[in-house]
Amino acid sequence: MWEKDININEVREIRSRTLVYFGVGAIAKIADICKDLKARGINKVLVMTGRGAYKKTGAWDHVTKAFEATGMQYVHYDQVTPNPNTHHVNDAVKMAHDFGAQAVIAIGGGSAIDAGKSAAILLKYPGKTAEDLYTFQFTPTEAAPIIAINLTHGTGSEANRFAVVSIEEKNFKPAIAYDCIYPLYSIDDPALMTGLAENQTRYVSIDAVNHVVEAATTKVASPYAIDLAISVVKLVAEYLPVALKDPKNLEARYFLAYAALAAGIAFDNGMLHYTHALEHPLSGVNPNLTHGLGLAMLLPAVLKNIYPARPATLADVLAPIVPGLKGCGCEAEKVAEGVEKWLFSVGSTHKLLDEGFKAEDVDKLVELAFNTPSLDGLLGLAPTDATKEAVRAIYTESLKPCHK
């Protein structure tokens, strides 16, 4: 109910390790950000985007006006894909080095922001490549300043220290986490998100739900992560159906954007485990797979595994989508089916079989979950014993058709 007291047209400052300008109209803050960059002696920037959203949303008009007003020079890499790979990062870094870029402005969803964070590190390490970075050949302690203009309500990358980039040749999709890649400034403007397609709206919001389900149940989960998780699931449950029905509804976009931001901060504190560790092999093998869909297909089976280990926490977190839980480990099957029913209600009806995965793929996926750099660390944070048998069981369960 508290949402009714919020004026969504007032831009607020939300401070974590990043200063986030949040609210309808927040994109106008790019003018102040560019002035601050100039005051810091930064005159040239690398802009990283996908191929169209940065223009279609109207963000680019604001950014270029701010560049003109401040005399900021830029070079633009516009080839980032939904699952960015090391080639994108390396190509952008070469452009940036040749140009003399001193900072990175990433405009897009998590893919553009993660690729931008990666490029920002490599600007400070000219002898290194994205492959070096994502196979942990060195440990960065500095990066060029990062500005994130977020165009989706899913990843939370605009306010945390994580980035994900694929090494396609190895089917690896590793994650990095370094303090040096917290963005200096970020912008979350719900007005830039009203053009998200129905599937994007659906799956970026499901991504946020997965972030907090995991963050609230890792071995290092804090009260802060759990409290954020409770709020995030409530907001997504309430506002995702509204946004799917009325994509231009700014109130719905506002609270979904806030939920995603809170979820990003939650897993910055509580970390992640099974669902992300097992999804990365899926989109590592199939780069065309939508990350949020991959998570959705795995979530019920993951909950069946972990609910007995964290029943009280998950009963509170999942209450808006599976009402009536008592926090008893014997409810695991009910929880898995209840979450699957909710996913179905918001239009996420696919399982792994529907996306071309087969039973004979499971062994490869299991090996990737344990051999992809960084994913073993996530599995080690799971609240249950993440053996190969447990991981195999989750993948196998996720092949089955939905309960409709």
- The letter for the amino acid at 151 is L
Do residues 180 and 210 share a domain?
no
In a domain, 404, yes or no: no
Domain final position from 192, 222, 239? 192
pLDDT of residue 56: 97
Do residues 155 and 300 share a domain?
no
Q: Report how far residue 255's alpha carbon sits from residue 87's, in angstroms, rounded to the nearest whole number.
A: 35
Domain final position from 192, 212, 229? 192
Q: Report how far residue 376's alpha carbon sits from residue 174's, in angstroms, rounded to the nearest whole number.
A: 10
Q: In what order do the strands lie in the sheet with 146-150?
A: 12-15, 19-22, 185-188, 146-150, 103-108, 44-49, 73-77
Report which of 110, 198, 194, 209 is spatially closest to residue 150, judged by C-alpha positions: 110
* Three-state secondary structure readout of the chain: CHHHHCCCCCCEEEECCCEEEECCCHHHHHHHHHHHHHHCCCCEEEEEECCCHHHHCCHHHHHHHHHHHHCCEEEEECCCCCCCEHHHHHHHHHHHHHHCCCEEEEEECHHHHHHHHHHHHHHCCCCCCHHHHHCCCCCCCCCCCEEEEECCCCCCHHHCCEEECEEHHHCECCEEECHHHCCCEEEECHHHCCCCCHHHHHHHHHHHHHHHHHHCCCCCCCHHHHHHHHHHHHHHHHHHHHHHHCCCCHHHHHHHHHHHHHHHHHHHHHCCCHHHHHHHHHHHHCCCCCHHHHHHHHHHHHHHHHHHHCHHHHHHHCCCCCCCCCCCHHHHHHHHHHHHHHHHHCCCCCCHHHHCCCHHHHHHHHHHHHHCCCHHHHHCCCCCCCCHHHHHHHHHHCCCCCCC
- CATH number of the domain that residue 222 is part of: 1.20.1090.10
Residue numbers of the domain that contains 326:
198-397
Cβ atoms 211, 159 nearer than 8 A: no
pLDDT of residue 175: 98
pLDDT of residue 14: 86
Do residues 94 and 243 share a domain?
no
In a domain, 403, yes or no: no
- CATH number of the domain that residue 94 is part of: 3.40.50.1970
Domain count, the chain: 2
> What is the chain's length?
404
Each of the 404 residues of the chain gets a pLDDT tens digit; together they read 778 899 999 999 888 999 999 999 999 999 999 999 999 999 999 999 999 999 999 999 999 999 999 999 999 999 999 999 999 999 999 999 999 999 999 999 999 999 999 999 999 999 999 999 999 999 999 999 999 999 999 999 999 999 999 999 999 999 999 999 999 999 999 999 999 999 999 999 999 999 999 999 999 999 999 999 999 999 999 999 999 999 999 999 999 999 999 999 999 999 999 999 999 999 999 999 999 999 999 999 999 999 999 999 999 999 999 999 999 999 999 999 999 999 999 999 999 999 999 999 999 999 999 999 999 999 999 999 999 999 999 999 999 876 55
Do residues 163 and 112 share a domain?
yes
Do residues 210 and 237 share a domain?
yes
Do residues 306 and 344 share a domain?
yes
Query: If you search the block for the tokens 């005051």, which residue do you land on?
Result: 39
pLDDT of residue 404: 52
Q: Report how far residue 234's alpha carbon sits from residue 317's, in angstroms, rounded to the nearest whole number.
A: 8
Do residues 234 and 122 share a domain?
no
